[in-house]
Structure 1
Amino acid sequence: MDDTLEALGLEIPDCLQFADDGAIPNSHLATLVFRAHRIPRSEGGDRERLAALFGARFAASGWPASWRGEVFDYHHYHSTAHEAFGVLSGWGLLRLGGEAGRDVEVRRGDVLVLPAGTGHCQRDASEDFLLLAAYPEDQPTLDLIGADPARHDAAVARIAEVSQPARDPLGGEMARWWPAPK
């Protein structure tokens, strides 16, 4: 199988919007879900090869890889950085947007981009579920905030200061998906 990103079918993402719920701010910017449409869902594949592919593309796009693992199983968000996940193996069911948000299933080869403030938690996953996480290179400090109304307003102020990257983690112009800051 050809594991280039183009061969995976990563082109136009699903763009999801989530409203501020008073505990999790979410974002006016869209959460992006790039689906790997051309990978047979039953095919396990070589996750190290996919990790190297994602790692190289993410880094070349200004989103260096940071860690591998799963998503925490409680609602949380980051107010100081945008976050990207490349799914290296398995599948995961993530709740995006906070408690009243939406469940989104991601599978091997998919890429998820969460704007700063977007709530997320893992609700279920296969035993082999593994992500590669990345953040824009000018956003090296990552905070972790749970669904807490008392921390909401200060987080909203920090989120407003987070820069918008020029490129998405796959190398496309971010302005295609997120309008330029005013």
Structure 2
Amino acid sequence: MRPDLLPPPQDGAVPNNALPAHVYRAALTGLTPTQIEAHLAARGWTNTWRNGIYPYHHYHSTAHEVLIIARGQASVTLGGEGGPQVTVGEGDVLLLPAGTGHRNDGGSADLLVIGAYAGGRDWDVCRPGETDMEEARARIERVPGWDRDPVD
């Protein structure tokens, strides 16, 4: 399945990544949360959680993140203020390279997101204006790539 590629802005308060965000539409529709977690683990995306997406701009400087919409829908801004906004729904998958800003701009009451990290890496939460940008960029540069696509 070929994703939509969304390059985030490179000139704002979020470091982002030279790699674009990937949006796979309806890639994991019809799976239970447990099935989604097993699917991700088989592809090397672990350290999973179930919840939503923070309603403020943030990014992770120590890990590539994948977000799967298991239930409901949300509108998400990528890359920080002024970045592209996408509407995602059940089965959609967002692959966010380390440093890619994201924020939930509103979602349905039944929204359930499953998140995981390439190689099960530990993750941090960085916020624009609260995190040293140069230190975050240095951490992002050290994050190894993912071994396997979370969808294939």
Range of TM-score over shorter length:
over 0.9
The Cα of 1:56 is off from its aligned counterpart by 1.2
Task: State the structure with bigger RCO (CA 8 A, min sep 6), 1 or 2.
Answer: 2
Q: Spell out, residue by residue over 1:90-148, the C-alpha distance to the aligned partner (whole angstroms, 9 max, x if none).
A: 10001111001011111001111000000001001011011000001251x21111012
Instruction: After the TM superposition, list the runs of 4 or more consecutive aligned residues in structure 1 that deviate by more than 4 angstroms.
Output: none
Unaligned residue ranges in structure 2 (runs of 5+):
none
2:96 counterpart letter in structure 1: L
- Hey, which of these two has a bigger chunk of helix by percent? 1
CA contact under 8 A between 1:74 and 1:122: conserved in structure 2? Answer: yes
Give the total of aligned pairs: 152
In the alignment, which residue of structure 2 is the partner of 1:176?
none
The CA distance in 2 between the partners of 1:60 and 1:37, in whole Å, is 16
* The structure with more radius of gyration: 1
Residue 157 (str. 1) matches residue 147 (str. 2): no
In the alignment, which residue of structure 1 is the partner of 2:110?
128
In the alignment, which residue of structure 2 is the partner of 1:74?
56
TM-score normalized with structure 1 length: 0.78
In angstroms, what is the RMSD of aligned CA positions?
A: 1.8
In the alignment, which residue of structure 2 is the partner of 1:99?
81
Identity, % of aligned positions: 41
TM-score normalized with structure 2 length: 0.93
CA contact under 8 A between 2:73 and 2:111: conserved in structure 1? Answer: yes
The CA distance in 2 between the partners of 1:29 and 1:112, in whole Å, is 13
In the alignment, which residue of structure 1 is the partner of 2:40?
58
